[in-house]
């Protein structure tokens, strides 16, 4: 039997799932017929989870219990400046978790961000299982190339909570390159320009005979379509305040309506010269008079609002080219990824920057999931004929004297790799050394992410500067880091393997996975009960029609009417599937006997 594995693009705004079927990657449409599912989760008043389109439809009337854009926040500390800026603008409540992490509140219950992502992943998994008609657990999930270890591990945690076996986490631009590269046998260097809903990545890759070699990758995890939407929202809020002296930011429902209108306007302006925004009864003034928004935004206006955002992407592209040691003229093709690349201004800017028109044979919404599915299929079926050489997304190093960050493995180093630096002792007769392993790009050690710390003891005593200690970083193909400290004279050494860590403990992940499984089981039981009741209703209808068209002996009529009443009572208050099915069977049996004349 063919083994299936999912390729999942877990996006900020929309998510997508793909599989390889009969050797070809396909995108699986959800129950509404769409190939992408909104990355939105809500809790209804009944406590039921609403995911995707269902959550999006009720976002206006249930703004404080509808969560979106969590990919921007996952794996971050509550004290990050970017997080603090989001707290001020998002309609749902964000609070501090027990580990300096982020929790969102819906219906007075706190949820970790991996739990929210797990709900979306679970929905995508269900989409695939409905299509295949069988359970499926293996998956590759994509992340922005610029995600750090905590953000990557938080994504793995989300997969675990959703009941998935996460085979690997791969970078979104790399997945897009795999999808693109499998369509051509040409030796070439490509740029993958990935401007999605919440993040921006640019990767430079060489493709040659099935070998995908990432030359450099960089990006901004707080630059994407959400920022383009916010420029429209800010424009509308400012114009409304000028006209009516009312700040709509104080009204969560109004802001949710503005968000939906801004996203619609942005999409329309990718194809039209102007877009109309009509929001009747957006609020009322002090006298109770209803106020409305009825305006148009032209494509030129929109471009003027966001031109600085587009220029930011080009500055990052320049850094990527420098890190890869190539120029625009060395790039053979440009692959556009993410819905924002449909914007004419973005396409024009990319074409001018790279001196060539981007590739037109790739669907920017689907290419990442397709590439992930190709990679996943290769892992489970050992059928891959390509080799992926990825890079470290951020600098790796240690904290040194003076609170500085000393880089040992620079970012964009091809993995697997080994890098070493020799240090000396700082004072006489030093016998131990505290090693703090860091990831990031800031000069100050405290401004980077701490991956691990350990003490290297047993150093031979000696004068300051006379004892050489070699620090070695080994990074494997999956990005797992092993740090070794060695006294070069005595060969005494100590090492630690850095385990990726999010802000959740193993016990919390296990509990969340159980809670998720229990909820899904309860939902399935409810769905099974609902289906059983529908079957019972059909049987009751048949029995009523039979009684209306047949004159039965009094004792039989009494028995049948009693059976009918018990069935109707059970429809009103069904207790469990088994009892409902038994009642349906009793009624169906009575119908058969009446038809055969046996019951008379």
d(CA 199, CA 197): 6
d(CA 230, CA 12): 15
d(CA 439, CA 416): 17
User: Which backbone phi and psi does 340 adopt, to 5 degrees?
Assistant: -65, -20
In the set 71, 259, 266, 411, the catalytic residue is 71
- Tokens linked to 128: 């695939």
Cβ neighbours for 437, distance < 8 A, ≥ 6 positions apart:
396, 397, 398, 450, 451, 452, 453, 481, 483, 496, 498
**Is residue 245 annotated as a catalytic residue, yes or no?**
no
Cβ neighbours for 180, distance < 8 A, ≥ 6 positions apart:
190, 192, 333, 335, 359, 362, 367, 371
d(CA 29, CA 37): 9
Q: What is the DSSP letter of 64?
A: G
In the set 101, 123, 157, 194, the catalytic residue is 194
- Describe the strand order of the beta sheet including 200-208 as a list of residue ranges: 333-337, 188-195, 200-208, 211-220, 387-389
In Å, the largest CA–CA distance within the chain is: 112
User: Which backbone phi and psi does 242 adopt, to 5 degrees?
Assistant: -65, -40
What is the DSSP pairing of strand 102-106 with strand 93-96?
antiparallel
**Is residue 101 annotated as a catalytic residue, yes or no?**
no
**Is residue 71 annotated as a catalytic residue, yes or no?**
yes
- Tokens linked to 43: 């809790």
What is the DSSP pairing of strand 188-195 with strand 333-337?
parallel
d(CA 439, CA 11): 24
Q: Provide the β-strand partners of residue 105.
A: 93, 110
Please say whether the dihedral angle defined by the alpha carbons of residues 417, 423, 425 and 426, taken in this order, is positive or negative: negative
DSSP per-residue string spanning 226-274:
HHHHHHHHHHHHHHHHHHH---GGG-HHHHHHHHHHHHHHHHHTTTSSE
Contact 452, 496 (CB under 8 A): yes
d(CA 198, CA 43): 23
d(CA 575, CA 570): 8
Q: Which of 145, 167, 232, 223 is nearest to 4 (CA)?
A: 167
Cβ neighbours for 370, distance < 8 A, ≥ 6 positions apart:
7, 18, 25, 27, 175, 179
In the set 101, 157, 172, 226, the catalytic residue is 172
Active site residues: 9, 71, 172, 194
């Amino acid at each position: 039997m063919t083994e299936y594995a999912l390729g999942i693009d877990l996006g900020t705004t929309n998510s997508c799932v793909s599989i390889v079927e009969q050797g070809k990657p396909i995108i699986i449409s959800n129950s509404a017929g769409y190939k992408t599912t909104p990355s939105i989760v809500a809790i209804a008043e009944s406590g039921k989870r609403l995911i995707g389109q269902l959550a999006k439809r009720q976002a206006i009337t249930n703004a404080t219990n509808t969560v979106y854009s969590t990919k921007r926040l996952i794996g971050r500390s509550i004290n990050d400046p970017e997080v603090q800026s989001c707290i001020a603008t998002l309609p749902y409540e964000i609070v501090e978790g027990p580990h300096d992490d982020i929790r969102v509140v819906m219906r007075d219950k706190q949820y970790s961000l991996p739990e929210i992502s797990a709900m979306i992943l679970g929905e995508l998994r269900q989409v695939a299982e409905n299509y295949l008609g069988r359970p499926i657990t293996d998956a590759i999930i994509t992340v922005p190339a610029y995600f750090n270890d905590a953000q990557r591990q938080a994504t793995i945690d989300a997969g675990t909570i959703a009941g998935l076996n996460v085979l690997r986490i791969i970078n979104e631009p790399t997945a897009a390159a795999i999808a693109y590269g499998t369509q051509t046998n040409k030796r070439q260097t490509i740029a993958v320009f990935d401007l999605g809903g919440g993040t921006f990545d640019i990767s430079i890759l060489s493709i040659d005979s099935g070998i995908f070699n990432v030359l450099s990758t960089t990006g901004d995890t707080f630059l994407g379509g959400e920022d383009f939407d916010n420029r429209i929202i800010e424009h509308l809020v400012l114009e409304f305040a000028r006209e009516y002296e009312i700040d709509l930011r104080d009204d969560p429902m109004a802001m949710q309506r503005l968000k939906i209108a801004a996203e619609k306007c942005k999409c329309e302006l990718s194809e039209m010269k102007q877009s109309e925004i009509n929001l009747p009864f957006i609020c009322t003034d002090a006298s109770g008079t209803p106020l409305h928004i009825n305006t148009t935004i032209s494509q030129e206006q929109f471009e003027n609002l966001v031109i600085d955002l587009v220029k930011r992407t080009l500055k990052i592209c320049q850094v990527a080219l420098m890190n890869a040691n190539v120029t625009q003229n060395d790039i053979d093709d440009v692959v556009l990824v993410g819905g924002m690349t449909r914007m004419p201004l973005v396409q024009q800017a990319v074409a001018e920057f790279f001196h060539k028109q981007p590739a037109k044979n790739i669907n920017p919404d689907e290419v990442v999931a397709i590439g992930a599915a190709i990679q996943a299929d290769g892992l489970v079926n050992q059928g891959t004929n390509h080799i992926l050489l990825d890079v470290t997304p951020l600098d790796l190093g240690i904290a040194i004297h003076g609170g500085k960050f000393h880089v040992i493995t620079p970012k964009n180093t091809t993995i697997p790799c080994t890098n070493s630096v020799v240090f000396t002792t700082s004072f006489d007769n030093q016998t131990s050394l505290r090693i703090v392993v860091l990831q990031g790009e800031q000069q100050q050690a405290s401004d980077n992410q701490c991956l691990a710390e350990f003490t290297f003891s047993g150093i031979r005593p000696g004068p300051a500067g006379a004892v050489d200690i070699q620090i070695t970083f080994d990074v494997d193909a999956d990005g797992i880091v092993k740090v070794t400290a060695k006294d070069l004279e005595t060969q005494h050494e100590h090492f630690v393997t850095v385990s990726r860590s999010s802000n959740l403990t193993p016990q919390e992940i296990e509990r969340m996975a159980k809670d998720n499984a229990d909820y899904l089981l309860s939902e399935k039981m409810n769905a099974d009960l609902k289906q059983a009741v529908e079957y019972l209703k059909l049987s009751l209808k048949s029995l009523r029609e039979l009684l209306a068209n047949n004159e039965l002996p009094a004792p039989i009529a009494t028995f049948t009417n009693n059976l009918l009443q018990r069935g109707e009572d059970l429809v009103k208050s069904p207790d469990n599937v088994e009892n409902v099915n038994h009642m349906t069977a009793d009624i169906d049996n009575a119908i058969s006997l009446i038809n055969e004349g046996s019951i008379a």
